[in-house]
Structure 1
Amino acid sequence: MSGIAAIFYFDGRPVDPDLIARMTSAMAYRGPDCIDHWTSQQAALGHCMLRTTKESLQERQPLQSDDGSIVLVMDGTLSNWEELRRELLSRSARLRTRSDSELVLRAYEIWGEQCPHHIEGEFAFVLWDSRRQRAFCARDHAGRRSLHYHWDGKRLIVASDIAGALAGGVQARPNRGMFAELMAGIVLSKDETIWQEVLRLPAAYALSADPDGMVRSKYWSPPSRVTVHYRNDDDYVEHYRTLLFDCVRRSSRSHLRLGCEVSGGLDSSAVFAVASKLQHEGRLLAPALKGYTLKFEETGSEADEIAFARAVGQHSRQAIAEVPPFLPPRRWFQERSRADCDIPPYPNGAMGLGMAAAATGDGCRVILNGSGGDEWLEGNLLYYAEQLAAHDWSGLGRSLREDIASVGLAKTAWWFLRFGPTELLPPPLWKALRTIRRVSASGRDEAYWLSPELRSLLAARRTASGTDVVASTFIDRRGVSRWLNNAYSAFASDLGTKLAARAGYEPRSPLHDRRFIEFAFATPDRIKRKATIGKYTHRRALAGLLPDMVVDRMTKAEFTVAFARQLDGMANLFEGSKPDVRSYLDLSGVDRLFDTYRSESYEGNPIWKLWGIFGCMTAGDLLSEQEC
């Protein structure tokens, strides 16, 4: 994917052109095709270009308006480029090229800072409006393209990556609060990074700055109530299937071979199967398609999904390359952390870099994935509360009968009480109940491996984040809202995009399309889940497109093998750390956490917490140099 950088001074100081060059240099891996800059007295913008569509082949950024008063840099692609182009032409916009960046620039000229309402896709952009002496930035609705910034009241520095922002002259200090969250395995903040002075612009947010100050505002929210109602499940399935095909088609736009991850799980397999069908019908917006899957040496292990992936390939009559997982030494993660000025990627995320290398070696610059399926399609048992709140007695009766037939009377009765009347308690009582559960859970796991100072800091941050967005959400939208407001997902997404950028490709997630998420919010949970069967509508829509063994699959791969390779032998790593490490950790507590990991009980998910400790210590340069 491409990279963007910008510097704006609002105190009369001139911008040093060398600074913007340093920022793009720190993200040079994002610009294999070209790196360009634009500078003026008080603003500078830089762009690192990776061309991924036919429309981008002649594109140059930074892009200026006809009179030069507006300058824009953008990373990403639009999914509504066809509709937006027609709308702009109907308003007499002058389109000089067919590039997506041109559409965004013209959208700003027509709608101003309301333009994100008209733009759909995976994008982040920054522009400078010299007429208004104002900078404006926006990030897509799902946060699929990263955007970081620094604001000190007089200057705004913006970059795709943390390293790019720091190269703009930001003197950053470690954010101990964020370290506490990551080392405890509990990410609470959606906009903080490991540096106090560098923030992440959250998904669906826009930011504007001028001499009067900086304003951050949310420009998009999904439907707050169920608005799509059909008489029977078949109509929901047909609606969903049509939407799924359209989202994959729009994500497939590339001038080169299109790659697709095919884990063998339901979601990535679905995206690949739909793309294959579109190709056979002549509707795929790429000249060719190829799938890629991981092949572990140990057949039959919990990470091995090769039988499912092969079944998908045979059913679709498409080639799926089998690639060994990328399992580098610990030193590789430490080097990545230092280069990125961030915590290193998680081993299960880095594992797919072998597939990325194979795909880019085959000429792919765009790789589709199945991210979003678990979030928006799984459904949950809140359909009991949903039906109670709507006084849908016939629907409730049907759900109870189906669940009793599936899991028995006793379990259904417990489900009904837990996910029915309990969820309809008045908000103050509901919040109090959640607080009791959270306190009870924290009592069992006090983050005993953190120093007393960091445990206290973590407790304060838990309290500060106590305003529960989910609690104020309508009952029929609480399930999906938990994902929309998940801070860890936002954090992990940025780590993933950085990996993809360094690997030289653009990841696209059809299941995170804005219309896809809106459909998830606008439809009842009872059509997503039936008792123990999650992704019910998704599964039904895929009948015939995928082999039955994949459609009916209820298991998921388990990738602790990627962590074990790193964690085994790491126990003594912290003992020889620099003195400052003791202000972060209780080393006896770390030993205890390792004991839990070695016991293979994995109670409390010690793997994620141990990796969080290692990542933060590496990023904070607190580990002593040693061979890995």
Structure 2
Amino acid sequence: MTALAGLWDRRGVQGAWEGAVGRMLDAQAIYGPEPAARRTLGEATLGRRLFSLLPEDDFDRGPVSGGDGTLLLVADARIDNRDELAERLGRSMADLARLPEPALVMAVVERWGVAGLGHLVGAFAVILWDERRRALTLARDALGERPLHYHQGDGFLGVASMPKGLHALPEVPYLTSAATSADFLALLPQGGESFFAGIERVLPGHAFTFTADSVTQMRLWTPSDAPLRLSASDYAEGLRAELDRVVASRLRRGDGAVGAHLSGGLDSSSVTASAALALAPDTLHAFTAVPGTPAPVEAGRIGDEGPLAAALAARYPNIAHVLVRGQGASPLPLLDRHFDLYQRPITNPCNAVWWDATNDAARARGVRVLLTGNMGNFTLSHDGSQYLPTLLRHGRLLALAGIARQLHARGWSARRVASTTLSPFLSPRLWEWANARLGRSWALGNYSALRPDAAQAHDIYARASARGLDLSYRPWADGRAMRLWGLERVDMGVFNKGTLGGWGFDLRDPTADRRLIEWALRVPEEQYILNGEPRSLARRAFADRLPAEILHETRRGYQGADWHVGASAALAGLREEIEAVTRCADADALVDAGRLRALAADWPDFAPDDPRWADRAITDRYRYQLLRGVAAGHFLRRVARTN
């Protein structure tokens, strides 16, 4: 990985910002400990600080020149289709072995222009200065695995990997974005603005090109919608082959061990199994977070995935299985560290406790690459439930009746089948009424600490609709559209960068590889629920790799099941943090401190194993509304520099 910085003087002054770029890089030194390298070409200065992770990083000499001296480029990149690109570029394998990622990206730009960045598969953020055109292009990979932010100032354009790079410039204000913070509290997908006023993020899968008088956007990746036509067995073999390919490509590293997050689910288990096969006989360190004390969970969830993960690890002799046991730690002490690392509030502070503990365990074992399966629900283990409303929409009633019978035979109730089939076609009001009759509610005030007047002032419902989010949370009728929306909702760039800075290893998610995504989106929906078995494709594809207890498990994991233990012990600190929110005008304007104060005062006095901790109303109020509200308030007051 690399920390990037760049400045363009749009007034035409030559070499005006070289010292400022140095300060921007120094502000991001945690993400790139090697000495800064920078270069000026006319009106623009670009620079980088390297964090060596790849074999080719030994040959990285900093900003790359090209185009007969008219182009200058820096890139934070790991390109996973290097061999394919080398062949298309006519480069030898010997040449490729000494070609660092930025030089490869420059070769692509020289051959195909900015649009050629769409040929890159992997993780990348690119800053490209074209002196001849007086144009600065900023680009990110399809899933946004590398971050990139920019600020348009008075006569200049500044770019940095993380906001703190831009805040090294006195011209950039250090203020929160109230709109983005309101969106966070309401669980909206992030828009173009970062959590800091005046600092925008380059959207994943896009290239933004700035000239003296315009800005244009180019979408670098649009997945094909042409369906695959294979036999049932070929779909399973194809998914397995695609996963093996993308896992293998993400194991490339210079040194150090490889680790994997291993839960009891299909996604992480499949990734871990594939990695173990690819690495053998070398060791794969697999980390499973388990509760420190027995904790209740609601029906249909798994609180302790340790036994399932152990069953998978036992199949592969080169897996070193590590249980990361919860210690009942409070999430509060992590807030300051996460503010510095990620530069945004944490959505689920309870999960951050076991996440940090897992990262600590991985660093202690010398891990330099940690595999995850975060996007697997949209690729590997899509459940195919949208096939039912699809059949209804197309009037295929006999096929719908057949799959309904199959689902019922597998334990689905008639009400669940009916709800899955009909709910996408209900109006939001009718859907909310039906949920209320069942004792459930998706009302914003039940899980969000956003003040009602702030929700109205920021027009949260209109903003949600503009980003494709139905705040009534009706099920989707189109599985492909749902998966594409879900993939674009989460921007992992700042988390990947923050994890590198905090623990020194690279997070890599094979299930977020665009090749796997493209393949999975082309599979007909019925293959995911074949014979009335949700997640049928993954179960068939990995039947010979996963133990039966994982293959046939229908419950979902529940991360941080013992969340209430640490939070209960930190109750005094939570109350202090809430009072601190009221002393910060920016935080108090968004966070409903009165509601949080009432929740803290009414904190349940249950024993740790009391089943009431698993009640959805309890978790919505305390795990999500209270703790997420405290996390948002802490972020806002840290930016405002209040105590």
Identity %, equivalent residues = 22
Look up the equivalent residue of 1:495 and give its one-letter code.
Answer: F
| Rounded Cα–Cα distance in structure 2 between residues aligned with 1:272 and 1:163 | 35
- Asked if structure 2 preserves the Cα contact closer than 8 Å seen for 1:182 and 1:609, the reply is no
Give the aligned partner of residue 577 of structure 2: 573
Change over 3 Å in CA distance of 1:277–1:561 after alignment to 2: same
Decide whether the 8 Å contact of 1:450 with 1:586 is kept in 2. Answer: yes
Paired position in structure 1 for 2:193: 192
Partner residue in 2 for 1:250: 249
Q: Is the 8 A contact 1:385 1:476 kept in 2?
A: no
Q: How far has the Cα of 1:138 moved from its partner?
A: 0.9
Amino acid at match of 1:578: R
Partner of 1:151: 152
Tell me the residue number matched to 1:294: 289
Q: Does residue 1:589 correspond to 2:595, yes or no?
A: yes
Distance in 1, Cα, partners of 2:49 & 2:532: 47
Q: 5+ unaligned residues in a row in structure 2: which ranges?
A: 298-302, 471-475, 605-611
Task: Give the direction of change, closer, same or farther, for the CA distance of 1:534–1:157 in structure 2 (3 Å limit).
Answer: farther
Please, which moves more after superposition, 603-612 or 509-518? 603-612
1:236, distance to aligned residue in structure 2 (A): 1.2
Q: CA deviation at 1:525?
A: 2.3
Does 1:414 find its partner at 2:418?
A: yes
Q: String of CA shifts for 1:69-116, please: whole Å, max 9, x gaps.
A: 32221113112111011101179xx97932222211100011111012
Amino acid at match of 1:247: V
SS of the equivalent of 2:367 reads: coil
Determine if contact 1:476/1:524 at 8 Å carries over to the other structure.
no
Output the amino acid matched with 2:583: K
Contact 1:470 1:478 in 2 (8 A): no
What's the offset of the Cα at 1:137? 1.4
Q: Deviations over 1:190-220 (max 9, x none)?
A: 3222212011212111111121222233222
TM-score, structure 1 as length reference: 0.86
Matched, 1:371 2:374: yes
Structure 1 residue 396: deviation in Å? 4.1
Q: What is the Cα-based RMSD across aligned positions, in Å?
A: 3.5
Which residue matches 1:24?
25
Q: Which residue of structure 1 aligns with residue 389 of structure 2?
A: 385
What amino acid is aligned across from residue 100 of structure 1 in structure 2? E
Question: C-alpha deviations, 1:450-495, integer Å up to 9, x for none?
Answer: 445413224x132144246489x99452331331342xx22x6533
| Deviation, structure 1 residue 342 | 3.3
Distance 1:277 1:456, change over 3 A: same
Mapped to 1, the partners of 2:537 and 2:342 lie a distance apart of: 40
C-alpha separation between the residues in 2 aligned to 1:272 and 1:380?
A: 23
SS of the aligned residue for 1:123 comes to strand
* Equivalent pair of 1:173/1:196 in contact (CA under 8 Å): yes
Which whole-Å CA distance do the structure 2 matches of 1:4 and 1:613 have between them? 32
State the Cα distance separating 1:509 from its structure 2 match: 0.8
Do the aligned partners of 1:403 and 1:412 also contact (CA within 8 Å) in 2?
no
Q: In structure 2, what residue type is equivalent to 1:590?
A: L
Which residue number in structure 1 is paired with residue 473 of structure 2? Answer: none
- Return the alpha-carbon distance in structure 1 between the equivalents of residues 469 and 341 of structure 2: 37
For 1:423-449, what per-residue CA distance to the aligned partner results, in whole angstroms no more than 9, with x for missing partners? 5xxxxxx7xx24765799665737885
Q: 1:475 to 1:253 in 2, by over 3 A?
A: same
C-alpha spacing 1:166/1:609, structure 2 compared with 1 (3 Å): farther
Q: Which residue of 1 aligns with 2:273?
A: 273
SS in structure 1 of the partner of residue 578 of structure 2: coil
User: Which residues of 2 match residues 136-535 of structure 1 at below 5 A?
Assistant: 136-152=137-153, 154-169=155-170, 170-183=172-185, 185-223=186-224, 225=225, 227-231=227-231, 233-256=232-255, 257-280=257-280, 289-298=284-293, 303-317=303-317, 318-324=319-325, 327=329, 330-337=332-339, 341-343=343-345, 346-347=348-349, 348-376=351-379, 377-388=381-392, 395-396=399-400, 398-407=402-411, 410-411=414-415, 414-415=418-419, 417-418=421-422, 423=425, 433-434=427-428, 437=431, 445=445, 449-451=449-451, 453-458=453-458, 460-467=459-466, 469=468, 475=478, 477-486=480-489, 489-490=490-491, 494-529=494-529, 533-535=533-535
2:366 counterpart SS class: coil
The 3-state SS of whatever aligns with 2:521 is helix
SS of alignment partner, residue 323 of structure 2: strand
> CA–CA distance in 2 between the matches of 1:293 and 1:176?
37
Cα distance in 2 for residues equivalent to 1:358 and 1:254: 19
Aligned residues, how many? 603
**Distance in 1 (alpha carbons) for counterparts of 2:87 and 2:239:** 26
Whether contact under 8 Å (2:6, 2:21) holds in the other structure is yes
1:593 deviation in Å?
4.1
Aligned to 1:605: 620
Question: How far apart, CA to CA, are the structure 2 residues paired with 1:499 and 1:393?
Answer: 49
**Alignment partners' CA distance in 2, 1:363 and 1:96:** 25
Deviations 1:338-366 (A, max 9, x none): 56543357431352333333433433321
Kindly provide the CA deviation profile for residues 20-48 of structure 1, in whole angstroms up to 9, marking residues without a partner as x.
12211121111134432223442122212
1:140-160 deviation per Cα after TM superposition (whole angstroms, max 9, x unaligned): 111111111112473222211
2:632 is aligned with 1:616: yes
SS for the counterpart of 2:113 is helix
In structure 2, C-alpha distance between the alignment counterparts of 1:186 and 1:151, rounded to whole Å = 27
For residue 99 of structure 1, what is the aligned residue in structure 2?
A: 100
The answer to whether 1:545 aligns with 2:531 is no
Distance 2:503 2:354 in 1: 12
Secondary structure of 2:595's partner?
A: helix
Instruction: Name the CA shift for 1:533/1:203 in 2 (closer, same or farther; >3 Å).
Output: farther
- Distance in 2, matches of 1:478 and 1:470, equals 12
- Relative to the length of structure 2, the TM-score reads 0.84
8 Å Cα contact 2:384-2:535 kept in structure 1 = no
Corresponding residue of 1:427: none
2:180–2:195 contact (8 Å) kept in structure 1: yes
Q: Partner letter of residue 590 of structure 2?
A: Y
CA shift in 2, pair 1:350/1:412, >3 Å:
closer
CA distance in 2, matches of 1:448, 1:608: 7
Label 1:393 to 1:246 Cα distance change in 2 as closer, same or farther (>3 A): farther
**Other structure's SS at 1:527 match:** helix
Q: Report what 1:83 is aligned to.
A: 84
Shift of the 563–173 alpha-carbon distance from structure 1 to 2, 3 Å rule, reads farther
8 Å Cα contact 2:446-2:620 kept in structure 1: no
Once the two structures are overlaid, the 10-residue window that deviates more, 94-103 or 150-159, is 94-103
Q: Which moved more, 1:134-143 or 1:474-483?
A: 474-483
- How far does the alpha carbon of each residue in 1:216-253 deviate from its partner, in whole angstroms, 9 at most, with x for none? 33222223x4511234x222111111111111111111
- Give the secondary-structure state (helix, strand or coil) at the position aligned to 2:175: coil
For residue 349 of structure 1, what is the amino acid of its counterpart?
Answer: A
Greater shift in the superposed pair: 378-387 or 293-302: 293-302
2:352 is aligned with what amino acid? G
For the residues of structure 2 that align with 1:408 and 1:74, how far apart are their CA atoms? 50
Q: Which shows bigger deviation, 503-512 or 301-310?
A: 301-310
What does the per-residue CA deviation read over 1:291-320, in whole Å, with 9 as the maximum and x for residues that have no partner?
A: 333354336776532222222221111222
Question: What is the distance in 2 between the residues matched to 1:155 and 1:293?
Answer: 47
Cα–Cα, structure 1 residues 245 and 398, in superposed 2: closer, same or farther, change >3 Å?
farther
Residues of 2 paired with 1:260 and 1:246: CA distance?
17
